[in-house]
Structure 1
Amino acid sequence: MGVNAKGLILKEQNIGENDKLVTVLTDSLGVIRAFVRGAKKLNSKKQSATGLLCYSKLSFYKTKDSYIIDEAESIESFFGLRNDIEKLSLAQYFCDIAFELSPKEDDATDFLRIVLNSLYFLANGKRPPLLLKAITELRLVSLAGYMPNLIACEKCGAFETPIMYFDMERGLLYCDNCADETALFPLEIGVVSAMRHIIFAKIDILYNFKLSPEASEDLSYITEKYLASKVDRPFKTLDFYYSVKD
């Protein structure tokens, strides 16, 4: 059965001398694994279009046990990431998150749009990397069904106080009058507003906000820890990003 889809190559693995196995985040099929026959031959049109971080038009056919990529045409290769080890490592972390959280063999259009937009802004240097990291972490984990409740204080319903407190395990927010647990993480209201924006904004305006470097650090920390509380494995790509980060 033939299937056409657009997809981002999240992972690649060499198989023998000429073939490889790729993991792809597609719009209509979610995350799938597919074989690419002859991908490493010098004259293969599929070589560049099925490389890591390539976004391509793909034609698959499905056998009983696997997908095979029959044709591939590159749409975007994100070359701006290739010569910057910090950006490249962060991009690979985004791919890791997408692999972990995106649906398998089901529609994943919104997941794909988030990752592609984050890679675009990262490659072109149009947004601070820490801000892109926080957006990608929190929006993807929310799409996956772990959206925190940030509308108001869980106890009294207060929309905002100068400092609010976040329960990372339960994804709940408390005002400074109701917070009574030492395990809660304090957040300035600007960071809370940024988190609300990341969760609820339409994708077209999702990236249209700014934070101070200090607030960006706090936001990145809280989104990373919240994601970690919902995903039962460490990300080696994140560790590598921190090892090369300035």
Structure 2
Amino acid sequence: MSAPQPLPRGTLLLIPVPLGPTPPAAVLPAPVCEQARQLRHFIAENAKSARAFLKSLEIPVPLQEIQIQELNEHTRANALEGLLQPLRQGFDVGLVSEAGCPGVADPGADLIRLAQQEGITVVPLIGPSSLLLALMGSGLCGQRFAFHGYLPAKEDERGKRLKALEQESRRQNQTQMFIETPYRNTQMLNSLLQHLAPSTLLCLASSLTLPQQRLRTLSVAQWRKEEDPVAKEPTVFLFLSV
């Protein structure tokens, strides 16, 4: 008697999510929306916000029939194995972020790495990325750039880090990019204006793809003359030493 054949593996689909309360059709290609509508298994940072996204997609079955597993900072490393189980059983699974692209400044990267190690097919789908959009609109160097996630929260450590990044930017002609929790945007901007050279070019890119989008590049010296230039909204900070 021949041995039973293993089930075909499912595909892990990386599904971008709008960067704010925007209809998915406004920022996601129609084929991406259609692929997401066909799925019955999802992995998300927060199940509640994932359901809101799926509802906006007009999933053709009741949301109660959709399986959503959570992957966030509280997920233990040994629990990642369990998240792959539907894929091992042959089901396609959608990985969604809270906003933007899964796996970029996102806990989904750990799951994607594990799926790659198991030989599971991973397919990134097209959608909005605040980092790429900010770089595109900044006018800063798009040939060499580095994303640093979140910088230190303590002012003295953050100042030292900014000076080191500015030196690297000058040496490599490299755009430096990072993000901050929106309620700390003002503190971050104050640190930038205090520690960077007046001639350094600084871009603030807030609420990209949303009606209140703001994207502007000025020198540090020029920003010091502006009043309330940054809102408590999702913002990408970019600078280039010139």
Verify same fold: TM over 0.5: no
Greater RCO, 1 or 2 (C-alpha within 8 Å, sep 6+):
2
- TM-score for the superposition, normalised by structure 1: 0.26
